[in-house]
Amino acid sequence: MKDDIKEIIFTEEVIRSKVKEMGASITSDYQGSSPLLIGVLKGSFMFLADLARCIDLSCEIRFVSASSYGFAAVSSGSVKIGKDIDFEMSGKDIILIEDILDTGVTLAALREFVAGFGPSSLKICALLDKPSHRKADINADYVGFACPDDFIVGYGLDFAEHYRNLPYIASLKPELYS
């Protein structure tokens, strides 16, 4: 698996430091509130777990599934949202937690979907932001890192369901996904 890596972009230590900083910012912004953190499966699970431990507030944690990639290296443009929502969103301060804001197609559809439940507030938190690929008019309220224009994996990000378990974020050798 490590032979498939072109370059490590963000080390474990750098990620840990940034996530701690993001958690402190959310803690400060949501004083007096109990935000609902909604992780976008599957990529956000590592980031959300670490981020939640850095937020010094009572918060609820839930997950939704949303994808526009499937097993491809590029977005299909068609978003599938797991609509079997079994939790209350009305009147809550919601933060959508995403691994990467890339084309924005998935997050824009998910934002519209969640907004339909009437939350008190709705913000987006993305560990990585790749604005060079943006197709939808959307930005994150909390961003960890600007992402290089490479196909990246690790720390929850995958290629065809592999590499999620890498403790760092790295670029994948192009011959593996081209």
**What pLDDT score does 81 carry?**
75
**HSE of 66, CA atoms in CB hemisphere, 13 A:** 28
Strands 169-172 and 5-10: antiparallel
pLDDT surpasses 70 at 69: no
Pairing mode of beta strands 93-101, 36-41: parallel
CA atoms within 13 A on the CB side of 62: 18
C-beta of residue 128 within 8 angstroms of C-beta of residue 100: yes
DSSP 154: B
CB 52 within 8 A of CB 18: no
List, by residue number, the catalytic residues. Answer: 102
The neighbouring-strand residues paired with 129 are: 101, 146
Q: Read off the pLDDT band of 168 (50, 70, 90).
A: very high
Q: What is the pLDDT of residue 137?
A: 94
At 52, the pLDDT band (50, 70, 90 cuts) reads: very high
- How far apart CA 117 and CA 178 sit, in angstroms, is 39
Domains and CATH numbers, the chain: 12-69+83-150 (3.40.50.2020)
Average pLDDT over residues 46-53: 98
